[in-house]
Structure 1
């Protein structure tokens, strides 16, 4: 029996609890208010299921932005901008409108997906939700953006990766439906980070080398330069400051974080352990090169569509390998890169053909360079050897057919 998934939010509970220890009374109060708001929204999720079904009705993926005016009662919100309406004098409204549009257009152009549910689902968002709320939420039918406290977080609508992340939780709802706990929940969070990052890369037309691979950098600790909420390139290094401490994300299975499957335990560490599949995606993308949404993103998207609610890291890794073979050919360099990417986070793909075995070690430099070139050269030789074997077998089969017909 499938579990009911909690409401999704970009800021995990362990960070909010850390902020409760702040010496700044306003930061402490904002964290407490956000925790209480999150708990209330979680409790209301079952009541919103009807709204989610209504929102899923075909609607040409039209956007509507509502202004909560610091209230948490959505029924009090006023419409601030519609799909064909003029720009708002409120830049936050326009930022949310733009972020929803870019995410919608990214899925349409890159994967031919018609909005969140692939049926033209309307895209509604509420800005100025509550007072100094340090979070953004996907509640199963719509987006809610808090304004942040101005110290730890700025206006959440100001980050395209945040919007892309939360809207992708909606895509997960309509594809794999990864259960939101333990490894399946970490995969749910990872999909949101992956495609949230790709929305930004696609909008800027960045290659894998040009992208920063950061989530929430535009709004996280606005007074501190160069950090972010999460780093896909180097999980565990996104931030390190007195406000919130050091980024605790692991980047490989030997560092997997074991936590209770409770809200205070981050549902089994879903925001912690998402760093592992995040790093696998980055490691695969940097080996393939080019635009990540065209190759690695396509593999991950199709794997997400083909996965099941209770799949674990191993299941999903195997599925990406299968989809890479289906999309780009068995023994292709893309499929070899998938093997290498998961190997870097200490997950071995099941059933890899002998001619496409994982090299014993890869240079874990995170930047390509000489180590990456050597790895790719080794993989190329293995693929060539496998191709020669296949050609040889084909010739033998042809000879046997000729002999048998005589």
Structure 2
């Protein structure tokens, strides 16, 4: 989780890339948000990686070989970025390639996580561990990304490549998977079975629909970056410190969720966490000074992380058995497409249609709030029990 999260262009490299696009290539908010939308193309097609890794064993196994090959190619692609010219299209092309290899690794790790969670009836706890690591990445990412953004961009690419390559020795040492021989007819049968399994999984599609509606709100992540530099006059290291604050509170949210998921039913957690996430978003209406920005980032890091935890817990529970990689990646793809697409849309509303930042925040919070009553339509079989209940 550490390698496939921290080494993403949208994580450790995001602040350096945003700074490069804004201050070296002089891109506006819309162009900058569009860069990250198209850079994440492979993440929207993650289900393709899911069905391939679930149905087509590579060198006799479904997990290990895919991780080793994709992690190595991703690390090499990061090294290629160190010599890529600082041109919008050239940078975008190489980042798309990097994400393609990273998606395969992330899909396999996610499938492995779902298998483990379902085997031990521990979707809430394992989701909390996953989010704990991701928020831990934010703590590390904030100061390091802020520093990397202030020096030559080649160091960012080298750092991300090094982090990604850590997955190779870890996989060799710790992921033990029995060899499995599969003939061509069985491979085709597996692929057909995966598609049928997913197509008939009503609960999974209901969960995916709820996630899509929650995330399908005008985004303002890129707008916040520009506001931090243009209005609050922060440098990249100060911006990184804000990410550190959000990460610390995100870790607290993950620890709290890991405890509460064994005491409360998922339906209760979904409603409560989504309400807190929506309220945390409204804090950006008061984003007018450095002190207020620090408080708001901490509040959002806690509230929005709780909402993400509950939704990912739902995604793990709703994933069909036997299609872990495909099912989970499909729901994560819904999240990724909505997040990066709405950020682009929100930037366009600001740059081309004259929306104010505050109106964008209100529209975002109102849209996410509308999805909360839909939680009560989810089947009791999935949301009517606590973690670790059979």
TM-score range, shorter chain: under 0.3
Higher strand share: 1
Q: TM-score, normalised by structure 2?
A: 0.26
* Structure with higher helix content: 2
| TM-score, normalised relative to structure 1 | 0.25
